[in-house]
Amino acid sequence: MLIDSHAHLTLPQFDDDREMVIQRAREAGLKHIITVGLDIEDSHKAIMLTDEYDFIFASIGVHPHDVKSIGTKTYSQLKKLSDHHKVVAIGEIGLDFYRNLSPRKIQFQRFREQLQLAREVSLPVIIHDREAHEDTVQILQEEGVETIGGVIHCFSGDLKMANACLDLGFYISIPGTITFKNSREYRDIVRELPLNRLLVETDCPFLTPHPFRGKRNEPAYVRYTAETIARLKNIDVAELAEITTANAQNLFHLSV
């Protein structure tokens, strides 16, 4: 049984058939799904979804694209939301220098503030890092995240970055891009990563794995990522599922 450690089930792409998508995830044998908030409103929606489905949990936070909109009440709202019994992480938070939809100076400040909030409420963090590898690692090191732990979602760095994050006690989450035919370099990195620090994710509705590339992604497709990693690690997919599920349960303190 697999855990999709990062999904966005609240997004409009699922408005027409969300219930069916979640049912397919159950039928595919998923043990849990973490649906991840992108801002205050989306975090509210994520929590509401967890109230409907026992195997879905939520993460809350403000994505780097949206941190320019953080206001005076945002952190008190997030702190209140963090009290919900099915909120298991703060995220996704971090840096995005690819789109730069929020000014970089603001991204730095809000990233640190949300890490500090995570420490305050004693929740692990889900980190977004796009074309900001060095700054992401530096801030994580400076903010003392070893005390709370976390995961680099949709890891896109090199082995040096991975090792720096592992040194902080972090997990590395692998999305469907590992299944792409042009992902040879990425696969070489994943081969070197320790099994006891790996998670699998869809980031749905994005990053759809082969053979569904070009279509909307959904949690049931996480098995294609798991199968690819299992081949890279030369182990059975059932073993890979057992290990990554245990890793996610350990990070997010999920019930077994």
pLDDT in tens, 200-253: 999 999 999 999 999 999 999 999 999 999 999 999 999 999 999 999 999 999
Residue pair 4/26 in contact (Cβ under 8 Å)? The answer is no
Residue with tokens 């996704």: 92
Question: Within 13 Å and on the Cβ side, how many CA atoms surround 5?
Answer: 37
Distances (CA, A) of 116 to 48, 90, 111, 120, 173: 25, 10, 9, 6, 22
pLDDT band at 255 (very low <50, low <70, confident <90, very high): confident
Determine the pLDDT at residue 256. Answer: 57
Beta strands 150-152; 32-36: pairing state: unpaired
Q: How far is CA 218 from the centre of its chain?
A: 14
Whether the per-residue pLDDT at 194 is higher than 70: the answer is: yes
pLDDT per position as a tens digit, 52-75: 999 999 999 999 999 999 999 999
Whether the per-residue pLDDT at 110 is higher than 70: the answer is: yes
pLDDT per position as a tens digit, 1-36: 999 999 999 999 999 999 999 999 999 999 999 999
DSSP single-letter state for residue 176: G
What are the tokens at 164?
């720096």
Sequence-distant (6+) residues with CB within 8 A of 78 are 40, 43, 60, 61, 62, 90, 114, 117
Q: How far apart are the C-alpha atoms of 226 and 30, rounded to whole Å?
A: 12
Whether the per-residue pLDDT at 142 is higher than 60: the answer is: yes
By CB atoms closer than 10 A (0-12, 13-18, 19+), residue 226 is buried
Distances (CA, A) of 84 to 11, 30, 92, 210, 215: 21, 22, 17, 36, 33
Determine the pLDDT at residue 29. Answer: 96
Whether the per-residue pLDDT at 254 is higher than 90: the answer is: yes
CATH class of 3-252: alpha beta
% of the chain beyond a pLDDT of 70 = 100
Q: How far apart are the C-alpha atoms of 115 and 34, rounded to whole Å?
A: 19
Rg (CA), the chain: 17
Distances (CA, A) of 62 to 4, 41, 94, 130: 20, 10, 9, 15
pLDDT per position as a tens digit, 157-183: 999 999 999 999 999 999 999 999 999
Neighbours of 229 (CB within 10 A): 25
Determine the pLDDT at residue 181. Answer: 92
Whether the per-residue pLDDT at 149 is higher than 80: the answer is: yes
Mean pLDDT of the 36-40 span: 98
Residue pair 183/152 in contact (Cβ under 8 Å)? The answer is no
